[in-house]
């Protein structure tokens, strides 16, 4: 990898991290002395865009207008896996690389999925509330199932789902179903089925698909209607995978339970109807987080930008153009 000493401008757009010492150490051989975090609402944002050669971003949308205002931009790196917040077509048209960090956090997100499942299945939140209120003894009010008797369904079978599969095996899961359009044969220890079959047969469904035009509202009223009464839906991927109104009706009707780390709109409004339901356990898109994952994210994103500055393509390049090498 070659280096140069021309000063480069690298910005973090929107919400970021406590400091950028990790990224600066990796990018310093490529002429980056300081990484600047900028708020898109500030007047100085336009000037930073005009100078930026790399954008690092967590959740803030990067639009076609941003790209048009950044003539020197060479690469956008998402601190994370999903890139639905970046206008990939506009970046491709301008020959701006978009990369992500797909190999971080599989342990953390799968932990979150497992924790949400167990919280829902073992009624942790409602039992906590009842104990604090002076109640004792579950009786028959809140039925619970043994994990080893259940059939689990994984929608998508990338790194996170594979890691969760390993953990479910340790729980003694009796069967694991998988649906993923990329797979041609069932991974070891699973049965490959279509989404409709998975919905009908699984006792617990965990979502691990990317959000795009094809998967938006993948879990709609029809899919929810196929799920078994009492089944559990877990989502640690993207809120837009689920038609929230359809899920709300299923939860209100008592047919299903859910554990959700993500929402269609984040943060959700304070009057979101999910907040009134005991049948859903919620968290604040925190599945990705651990102290270890932060290091992996910051270093992984910086290394992708460094590859571009060195004249190479990113390893995790997500918006390839037709004449790409």
CB 11 within 8 A of CB 36: yes
**Sequence-separated (6 or more) residues with CB below 8 Å from residue 53:** 8, 9, 10, 72, 73, 74, 75, 309
How far, in Å, are 34, 203, 295, 299, 302 from residue 22 at the CA level? 11, 43, 8, 6, 8
Q: Is 66 annotated as catalytic?
A: no
Which position among 8, 165, 201, 238 bears the catalytic label? 238
- The C-alpha atoms of residue 130 and residue 133 are separated, in whole angstroms, by 5
Q: How far apart are the C-alpha atoms of 164 and 208, rounded to whole Å?
A: 10
- Cα separation of 40 and 45, whole Å? 6
Residue whose token pair is 């907040």:
275
> Considering 33, 93, 266, 320, which one is annotated as catalytic?
266
For the sheet containing 151-155, what is the strand order? Answer: 191-192, 175-179, 151-155, 204-207, 232-235, 257-260, 280-282
Catalytic residue among 94, 174, 272, 285: 285
208 catalytic per annotation: no
DSSP result, 25-64:
HHHGGGT---EEEE-TTSTTHHHHHHH-SEEEESSS-B-H
Active site (annotated) includes residue 238: yes
Rounding to the nearest 10 degrees, give the CA dihedral for residues 142, 171, 175, 195: 70
CB 108 within 8 A of CB 293: yes
Question: Which residues are catalytic, by number?
Answer: 238, 266, 285
């Amino acid at each position: 990898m070659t280096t140069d000493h021309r000063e480069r401008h690298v910005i973090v757009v929107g919400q970021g991290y406590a400091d950028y010492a990790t990224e600066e150490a990796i990018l310093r051989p490529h002429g980056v002395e300081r990484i600047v975090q900028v708020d898109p609402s500030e007047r100085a944002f336009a000037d930073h865009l005009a100078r930026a050669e790399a954008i690092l971003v967590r959740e803030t949308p990067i639009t076609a207008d941003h790209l048009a205002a950044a003539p020197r931009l060479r690469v956008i790196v998402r601190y994370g896996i999903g890139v639905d917040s970046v206008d990939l077509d506009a970046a491709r048209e301008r020959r701006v690389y978009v990369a992500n960090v797909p190999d971080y956090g599989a342990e953390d997100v799968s932990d979150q999925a497992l924790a949400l499942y167990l919280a829902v299945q073992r009624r942790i939140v409602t039992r906590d509330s009842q104990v604090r209120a002076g109640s004792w003894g579950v009786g028959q009010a809140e039925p619970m199932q043994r994990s080893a008797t259940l059939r689990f369904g994984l929608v998508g079978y990338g790194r996170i789902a594979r890691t969760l599969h390993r953990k479910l095996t340790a729980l003694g899961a009796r069967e694991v179903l998988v649906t993923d359009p990329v797979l041609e044969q069932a991974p070891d220890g699973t049965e490959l089925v279509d989404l409709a079959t998975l919905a009908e047969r699984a006792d617990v469904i965990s979502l691990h698909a990317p959000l795009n035009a094809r998967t938006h509202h993948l879990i709609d009223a029809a899919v929810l209607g196929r799920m078994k009464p009492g089944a559990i839906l877990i989502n640690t991927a993207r809120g837009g995978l689920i038609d929230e109104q359809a899920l709300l009706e299923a939860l209100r009707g008592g047919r299903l339970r859910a554990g959700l780390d993500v929402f269609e709109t984040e943060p959700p409004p304070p009057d979101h109807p999910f907040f009134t339901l005991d049948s859903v356990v919620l968290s604040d898109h925190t599945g990705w987080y651990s102290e270890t994952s932060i290091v992996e994210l910051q270093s992984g994103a910086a290394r992708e930008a460094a590859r571009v500055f060195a004249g190479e393509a990113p390893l995790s390049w997500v918006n390839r153009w037709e004449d790409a090498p």
